[in-house]
Structure 1
Amino acid sequence: MSYTEKGISAVRRFVHGIVTATRQDEPEREPVVIGRSEHNVSRKKISKNALKVLYRLNEAGYESYLVGGGVRDILLEKNPKDFDISTDASPEQVKALFKNCRLIGRRFRLAHVVFGREIIEVATFRAAHTTGDGGVTGETGRIVRDNVYGGTLADDAFRRDFTVNGLYYDISDFSVIDFFDGVDDLHNGLLRFIGPAKERVIEDPVRALRAARFAAKLNFSLEDDVLQAISEEHHRLADIPPARMFEEALKLFQSGYGKASFAWLRDLDLLSYLLPLTDARLKSGDTYADKLTELALVNTDRRIKQDMPVTPAFIYAVMLWPDVAERAAKYEKDEGMPPVPALHKAADDVIPQQLAATSLPKRFSIPMREIWTLQPRLRKTRGKRAMQLIGNPRFRAAYDFLLLRCEAGESDLAPLCATWEKLQQHPEAQAAIESARKAPRPNRRKRAPRKRTPD
């Protein structure tokens, strides 16, 4: 890390007000303030749009700080993809300053300032739930709504999850503000919760999944208190809505660290809350499912690092395939069903079990089914049908899926894979591929721009 000796010494000083109380009783504390000359966070490494938001808030008389993954990643000499801002301005006050702003969320109210494809997320300082309206905690201790405003920067810092995500870059003087020895933890490669670990997981069980994701992404270890809290409280993930679990699955498997994230999920016994069927197979010692999953995650990580497109349809197709294939084979044998109808019926059995854990929007579940039902059709390699199949929009995904199956242990598919590799070089096949690429896509309802995976 590129810290000066002076900077390292500064952040290792004792921080007043170490967390020993619950959030409601948390005292005001004095942070370590790291001056501009003592850290490597530079405006050159911050998005121009994020700087616009920071400056405009500051010029309007509000406090404004870059916070979270943007600060953390720059300190680690990484290139952050997202920039989040914390301010004492309310969401409505932020909206009044930016015509290109929209307010989102009920559980956690946020302002999104939209610059084309880039979204700068602005959050208002949160305060303890005992200080005002807007905060709701369920009977189990899980925070249901977290919109109590009027807090200080220290209050806001205490509401964050990990010490390495609780670092603030002050645009007014270019200092880094560290309340909880977060810079030390960055230097030591350690993930610690801010405050009592068990309380943090009870408040929001999804923090257990975030711990796995950050440990994978940053190649950090988890503090013993974090490990114990996750071990004791991960059962609370069963109460999280499937839609939110799906969003977390995307962050885990489609951020370029899918293989490492998957390993952490297994180590922490969290996989069953995201992929219950896959988890059961792996725990039973299914080596084929294990190998197929690993290959898919490695392939997805590679594509992301090469800026190639990825889709949840492919990941879920792989994860659920062993169960779908097993059931389809049974329908073929016991009921004499043809391969494609058997796959459809097997999918009807398997998909609802997955939906109980995570949602799976139709824009992903339909292509997933198509990848599966193209597998038996890929066995037909003669005549015009082969060329027509190559022109199918799902052909490439289905072919890549076939390659993974072969590499994972279905060695009898090797001649078929080789045949399709040759067929794709045929001039007629190239014309079919080009025609499919130029074919107009069906009109779809225009979606609002979405923020990329945070942190």
Structure 2
Amino acid sequence: MTKQIYSAATLGLNHEMMDQDALQVIKKLQQNGFSGYVVGGGVRDLLLGKKPKDYDLVTDADPEKIRRIFGRNSMIIGRRFKIVHVYFERKNEDRSARIGKPSFARHILEVSTFRSNKVHEQALSEHGRILVDNNYGDMDEDAFRRDFTVNALYYDPIAEVVVDYHNGIQDIEKRLIRVIGNPYERYLEDPVRVLRAIRLSEKLGLAIDENTYINFRNVKHLLLNEPKGRLFEEMLKLLMSGNALSVVRELYELKIPRKVFPLLDKLFFNPTPDEFALKVLEKTDLRLAGNEDVSLIFILAGMMWPPIYKSWLQELEENPHPRQALMDAIARNKDPIFASGISQNLYSSIREVWMLQVDFDLPSFARLEHVPVHGRFRQAWHLFNLRNEFKQVDPQLFDWWNRFMVADETLRTELLVELGDIAPPEYKKKRKARKPKRRRTKHKPAATE
């Protein structure tokens, strides 16, 4: 490991390219006598000419000292490895313009302390995974603990220098992902690095070093020992990466164990992946490529829609009431949904998106004014559009909805009249005829002689 220091200017970097809140954190750390650097993806993305999604900051100050510097605007979090969240208020320009008054959102920056490469045996699982990682060290040790060479670059925007311990600059020039140290040992420490390497490779267009890739097959089974919550978080990162389609295909080629991602396994990890779910990933990747907003609720609701739709059609054969039939179809699939890692909160939101499909398929005068203002309308509308592409929607009704969404009040009135001719009436349960009340006969008292 040879430490190299580069002038930021020679690499095309300067502090004006950085997030200004992150710059303020580093300034304040250094003003208080501590070091402060941007590390990891923030530096890597800047060098690759991409806009960083977030900035990870590191320092030689321990979490308690960081907390004292930033006071009430910070919080220590984490068990396996303590980090400090530093909070800023940032004006949301889009929302401010939309509501006509200033709107602010919380901006969170993560600040961590340099980690030591000395890990106690008690902190390791039986498989070699690091369970507790609160041993602090210096920058040299911290650099060895990073996963890939391109993520072990430290940028000081005050001194305008980049510190490189593992030829990360060279690998960025080669557009190569290479693990630091012995690949097999590093994967034992954290098997999720296998998933991270594939995701970064597809997201950034980098090749994976041969020695880094060969060892994937030797350790992929260890992913089954990872906490389900952590694997679910990795799946969400994969879906929101902007290259979900290609990552899923790479994971299928690698033959990831079936229970690592139960949801992806059912939909994609087989010779005939679900076309509807593939289309959801394709559309999400395209929106992210165009810097458009994407919704995790839509992604999950869309991916899981095919089995729900199949069950809905089956329920309709027995129950002609579409709304109740869809509720029953969702209930039938509830166990596998939760088994895939979906939380109760996510499930509730996804279910709302599904239930709104009844309102699109069977628009009623009573509910029509409430549908466009529903909190999940946007996600439900995107799902309705995708269903139309797969011939699940009446074309005439789909055309009516498109006209209704852009119509003014006068035209909407005309469309409501037209709706009566094209929308199938929703089934109304007939009331059972009441049996006539049995007339009670009054018993006359017996005549007395």
- Counterpart of 2:347, as a letter, is S
SS in 1 for 2:22: helix
SS of residue matched to 1:123 = strand
Q: 2:27 aligns with which of 43, 55, 66?
A: 55
Is the contact made by 1:67 and 1:83 (CA closer than 8 Å) also made in structure 2? yes
Q: 1:120 aligns with which of 109, 119, 141?
A: 109
Does residue 225 in structure 1 map to residue 211 in structure 2?
yes
Could you tell me which residue of structure 2 aligns to residue 141 of structure 1?
Answer: 128
- In the TM superposition, what is the alpha-carbon distance from 1:305 to its structure 2 partner? 4.9
Please state how far the C-alpha of 1:411 moved relative to its aligned partner.
6.2
Aligned alpha-carbon RMSD (Å): 2.8
Query: Is contact 2:359–2:367 with CA below 8 Å preserved after alignment?
Result: no
**Normalised TM-score (structure 2):** 0.79
Equivalent residue runs for 1:393-432 within 5 Å: 393-407=375-389, 409-410=390-391, 413-428=394-409
What's the secondary structure of 1:142's corresponding residue?
Answer: coil
- Out of 366-375 and 352-361, give the one that drifted further: 352-361
The 1:172/1:369 distance shift into structure 2, 3 A limit, reads closer
Distance 1:118 1:386, change over 3 A: closer
Q: 1:417 to 1:429 in 2, by over 3 A?
A: farther
Deviation at 1:285, TM superposition (A): 4.3
1:89 Cα deviation after fit: 1.1
SS at match of 2:333: helix
Matches within 5 A, 1:44-443: 44-99=16-71, 100-116=73-89, 117-130=106-119, 136-149=123-136, 151-171=137-157, 173-270=159-256, 272-273=258-259, 275-286=261-272, 289-290=274-275, 292-305=276-289, 308-333=292-317, 335-336=318-319, 338-362=321-345, 364-381=346-363, 383-407=365-389, 409-410=390-391, 413-428=394-409
Q: CA offset at residue 186 of structure 1? A: 0.9
Q: 1:125 to 1:388 in 2, by over 3 A?
A: closer
Per-residue CA distance 1:322-349 (angstroms, 9 max, x = gap): 222223333343x547433333333334
In 2, distance between residues paired with 1:88 and 1:431? 63
SS in 2 for 1:98: helix
Cα distance in 1 for partners of 2:64, 2:412 equals 54
Contact 1:375–1:402, Cα closer than 8 Å, also in 2 = yes
Give distance in 1, aligned partners of 2:364 and 2:341.
40
SS of aligned partner of 2:85: strand
Shift of the 349–186 alpha-carbon distance from structure 1 to 2, 3 Å rule, reads farther
Q: TM-score, normalised by structure 1?
A: 0.78
Equivalent residues of 2:45, 2:52 under 8 A apart: yes
Task: Give the superposition deviation at 1:421.
Answer: 1.0
> Contact conserved, 2:387 with 2:393, CA < 8 A, in 1?
no
Q: How many residues align?
A: 396
Q: CA deviation at 1:209?
A: 2.0
CA contact (8 A) 2:311 2:329 kept: yes
Once structures 1 and 2 are overlaid, which stretch shifts more, 37-46 or 372-381? 372-381
Deviation at 1:383, TM superposition (A): 4.4
Provide Cα deviations, 1:106-138, integer angstroms capped at 9, x if missing partner.
0111011111222221111111334x69x7111
Q: How many angstroms does 1:248 deviate by?
A: 2.1
Structure 2: 5+ residue runs without aligned partners? 90-105, 414-449
Partner Cα distance (1:341, 1:258) in 2 = 34
Rate the CA distance shift 1:155–1:359 in 2: closer, same or farther, 3 A. Answer: farther
The match for 1:437 is none
**Partner residue of 2:437?**
none
State the partner residue of 1:31. 3
8 Å CA contact retained: 2:178, 2:209: yes
SS at match of 1:378: helix
- Relative distance call for 1:388 and 1:256 in structure 2 (3 A) is same
| 1:232–1:430 Cα change, 3 Å | farther
**What whole-Å deviation, never above 9, does each CA across 1:370-402 have from its counterpart, x for those lacking one?**
222222332224645444444444333223212
The separation in 2 between residues aligned to 1:220 and 1:38, in whole angstroms, is 22
Secondary structure of 1:146's counterpart equals: coil
1:20 corresponds in structure 2 to none
Distance 1:430 1:399 in 2: 21
